[in-house]
């Protein structure tokens, strides 16, 4: 996370907001999870991350700076899967940009996840964000 914060930080940044997406121990349907496995088409994912960051700057102010990191491979419960940092002159723009970026990333980036369950089964799941 420190590297992402450093990537967006400037002397003009009055607010830096970070988000960490962490592997949790329960699936949406209540099943116990042992971990997740992520796959991505990296060239497309990186291009989408860059497009989303540009959109965030257009929406929330050209001073908005965004950095994103998403892991691939097998991750255990408690490990960080995705991190977003957003900086802006004012905190409101940083909060708005961070939320926009993670929501759009989950909606658009070519990243797939497979939940691994305690009973041994696994299931590929949508990477879209659940609101609620």
Per-residue model confidence as pLDDT tens digits over 58-74:
999 989 999 999 999 99
Per-residue model confidence as pLDDT tens digits over 5-27:
999 999 999 999 999 999 999 99
Helix (H, G, I), strand (E, B) or coil at 18: strand
pLDDT given at position 130:
52
pLDDT given at position 132:
46
* Residues in CB range of 29: below 8 A, 6 or more apart: none
Q: Which domains can be identified in the chain, with CATH numbers?
A: 2-117 (3.90.1170.40)
pLDDT given at position 46:
95
Average pLDDT over residues 83-95: 97
pTM of this structure: 0.91
* Residues in CB range of 28: below 8 A, 6 or more apart: 130
Mean pLDDT taken over the chain: 94
Question: Does residue 129 surpass a pLDDT of 70?
Answer: no
pLDDT given at position 103:
97
Strands of the sheet containing 80-88, edge to edge, are 15-22, 80-88, 65-70
Split at pLDDT 50, 70, 90, the class of 125 is: confident
Neighbour-count burial of 61, counting CB atoms closer than 10 A to its CB (0-12 exposed, 13-18 middle, 19+ buried)? middle
């Amino acid at each position: 996370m420190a590297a992402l914060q450093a990537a967006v930080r400037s002397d003009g940044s009055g607010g830096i907001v970070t988000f960490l997406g962490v592997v949790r121990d329960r699936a949406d349907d209540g099943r116990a999870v042992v971990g997740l496995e992520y796959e991505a088409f990296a060239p497309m994912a990186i291009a989408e991350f860059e497009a989303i960051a540009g959109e965030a700057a257009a929406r929330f102010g050209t001073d908005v700076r965004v950095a994103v990191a998403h892991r691939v491979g097998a991750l255990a419960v408690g490990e960080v899967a995705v991190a977003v940092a957003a900086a802006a002159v004012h905190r409101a723009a940083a909060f708005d940009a961070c939320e926009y970026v993670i929501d759009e990333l989950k909606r658009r980036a070519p990243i797939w996840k497979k939940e691994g369950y305690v009973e041994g089964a696994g299931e590929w799941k949508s990477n879209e964000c659940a609101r609620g």
